[in-house]
A and B are shown apart, each in its own frame.
Chain A
Amino acid sequence: MLEFDGLHKSFGDNHVLDGVGFTVAPGTMFGFCGSNGAGKTTTMRIAMGLVRPDAGAVRWQGHHLDQEIRRRIGYMPEERGLYPKMKVGEQVTYFARLHGLDAAAAARASEEWVSRLGLGERRGDPVEKLSLGNQQRVQLAAALVSRPEVLILDEPFSGLDPVGVDSLAEGLLDQVRQGVPVVFSSHQLDLVERLCDSVGILAGGSMVATGTVEELRRREAGRLLRVVVPDAAHGWAAGLPGVRVVSEQAGDTLLELAPGTDDQSVLAAALRTGRVRHFAWREPTLVELFREVVAAPGAPEAVAS
Chain B
Amino acid sequence: MTAPGTPGSAALVRLVAGREVSTRIRDKTFLISSAVILLLVLGAVAFQVVIASGAGKVTVGVVGDRSALQPALQAEGKAVGADVTVVGLAGEAAARTALAAGDVDGALVVGSGGAPRLLVERKADPQLTATVQGAVGQLAIGRQLAQAGIDPLDVPQVGVTVVNPGTDPTGERTGIAIVGIIVLYTLLILMGQFVAQGVVEEKSTRVVELLLSTMRPWQLLAGKIIGLGLLGLAQIVAISVVGISGALLFDVVSLPGQLIGTVLTVVAWFVLGYAFYAAVFAAAASLVSRQEDLASVITPMTVLLVIGFFIALQSAGDPSGSLATVTSYIPGLSPLVMPVRMAAGAAAWWEVVLAVVLMLVAIALVVRLGGRIYAGALLRTSGKTKIREALRAERL
- Contact A79 to B381, CB < 8 A, known contacts A73-B213, A85-B23, A97-B15: yes
Interface residues of A (CB under 8 A from B): 45, 48-52, 67-68, 70-73, 75, 77, 79-86, 94-95, 97-102, 105, 142, 146-147, 178
Inter-chain CA distance A79–B5, complex, in Å, is 28
- Contact A82 to B207, CB < 8 A, known contacts A50-B379, A99-B4: yes
Q: Which residues of A contact B207 (CB under 8 A)?
A: 81-83
Chain A minimum-CB-distance residue to B209: A77
Provide 21 A-B residue pairs closer than 8 Å at the C-beta atoms, listed in order of the A residue: A49-B396, A70-B214, A75-B210, A77-B209, A79-B206, A80-B206, A81-B209, A81-B210, A82-B207, A83-B207, A85-B23, A86-B23, A97-B15, A98-B211, A99-B4, A99-B214, A101-B4, A105-B2, A105-B4, A142-B210, A178-B1
Partner of B6, one of A48, A84, A100, A178: A100
Chain A minimum-CB-distance residue to B396: A49
User: Is the Cβ of B2 less than 8 Å from the Cβ of A147?
Assistant: yes
Segment 192-215 of B: residues with Cβ below 8 Å from A: 201-202, 205-215
What is the minimal beta-carbon distance from B59 to any residue of chain A, in angstroms?
58
User: Is the Cβ of A68 less than 8 Å from the Cβ of B212?
Assistant: no
- Sample of 4 more A-B contacts, CB < 8 Å, known A48-B213, A67-B215, A98-B12: A71-B4, A84-B205, A94-B19, A98-B215
The 3 closest A-B pairs by CB, nearest first: A100-B4, A81-B207, A81-B206
Inter-chain CA distance A91–B286, complex, in Å, is 22
User: Is the Cβ of A146 less than 8 Å from the Cβ of B4?
Assistant: yes
Partner of B5, one of A70, A95, A102: A102
B216 at the interface (CB under 8 A from A): yes
Q: Which residues of B contact A71 (CB under 8 A)?
A: 4, 6-7, 214
Q: Which residues of A contact B4 (CB under 8 A)?
A: 71-72, 99-101, 105, 146-147
Q: Which residues of A contact B23 (CB under 8 A)?
A: 83, 85-86
What is the minimal beta-carbon distance from A152 to any residue of chain B, in angstroms?
9
Determine which residue in A49, A67, A81, A95 has the highest number of CB atoms from chain B within 10 A of its CB, and name it: A81
What is the minimal beta-carbon distance from B227 to any residue of chain A, in angstroms?
13
Q: Give the secondary structure class of A's interface.
A: loop
What is the minimal beta-carbon distance from B337 to any residue of chain A, in angstroms?
37
Q: Which residues of B contact A48 (CB under 8 A)?
A: 209, 213
Chain A minimum-CB-distance residue to B26: A85
Chain B interface residue number, banded: 20 to 34
Inter-chain CA distance A142–B210, complex, in Å, is 9
B394 at the interface (CB under 8 A from A): yes
User: Is the Cβ of B212 less than 8 Å from the Cβ of A50?
Assistant: yes
Interface residues of B (CB under 8 A from A): 1-2, 4-7, 12, 15, 19, 23, 201-202, 205-216, 379, 381, 394, 396
Q: Which residues of B contact A50 (CB under 8 A)?
A: 209, 212-213, 379, 396
Inter-chain CA distance A82–B19, complex, in Å, is 13
Determine which residue in A84, A94, A105 has the highest number of CB atoms from chain B within 10 A of its CB, and name it: A94
User: Is the Cβ of B6 less than 8 Å from the Cβ of A68?
Assistant: yes
Inter-chain CA distance A94–B210, complex, in Å, is 12
Inter-chain CA distance A98–B11, complex, in Å, is 9
Inter-chain CA distance A67–B15, complex, in Å, is 16
Chain B minimum-CB-distance residue to A72: B4
Inter-chain CA distance A194–B396, complex, in Å, is 37
Chain B minimum-CB-distance residue to A83: B207
Q: Which residues of B contact A72 (CB under 8 A)?
A: 4
Inter-chain CA distance A99–B4, complex, in Å, is 7
Inter-chain CA distance A101–B7, complex, in Å, is 8
User: Is the Cβ of A95 less than 8 Å from the Cβ of B210?
Assistant: yes
Inter-chain CA distance A98–B209, complex, in Å, is 13
- Contact A98 to B2, CB < 8 A, known contacts A52-B396, A81-B206, A81-B210: no
Partner of B205, one of A67, A81, A101: A81
Inter-chain CA distance A72–B212, complex, in Å, is 14
Inter-chain CA distance A123–B344, complex, in Å, is 55
Chain A minimum-CB-distance residue to B198: A83
Determine which residue in A82, A95, A97 has the highest number of CB atoms from chain B within 10 A of its CB, and name it: A97
Inter-chain CA distance A79–B205, complex, in Å, is 8
Inter-chain CA distance A100–B214, complex, in Å, is 9
What is the minimal beta-carbon distance from A109 to any residue of chain B, in angstroms?
9
Inter-chain CA distance A101–B12, complex, in Å, is 11
What is the minimal beta-carbon distance from A274 to any residue of chain B, in angstroms?
62
What is the minimal beta-carbon distance from A134 to any residue of chain B, in angstroms?
16
Inter-chain CA distance A217–B343, complex, in Å, is 84
User: Is the Cβ of B15 less than 8 Å from the Cβ of A98?
Assistant: yes
Q: Which residues of B contact A67 (CB under 8 A)?
A: 214-216
Partner of A49, one of B2, B15, B213: B213
User: Is the Cβ of B214 less than 8 Å from the Cβ of A77?
Assistant: no
What is the minimal beta-carbon distance from B23 to any residue of chain A, in angstroms?
7
What is the minimal beta-carbon distance from A207 to any residue of chain B, in angstroms?
23
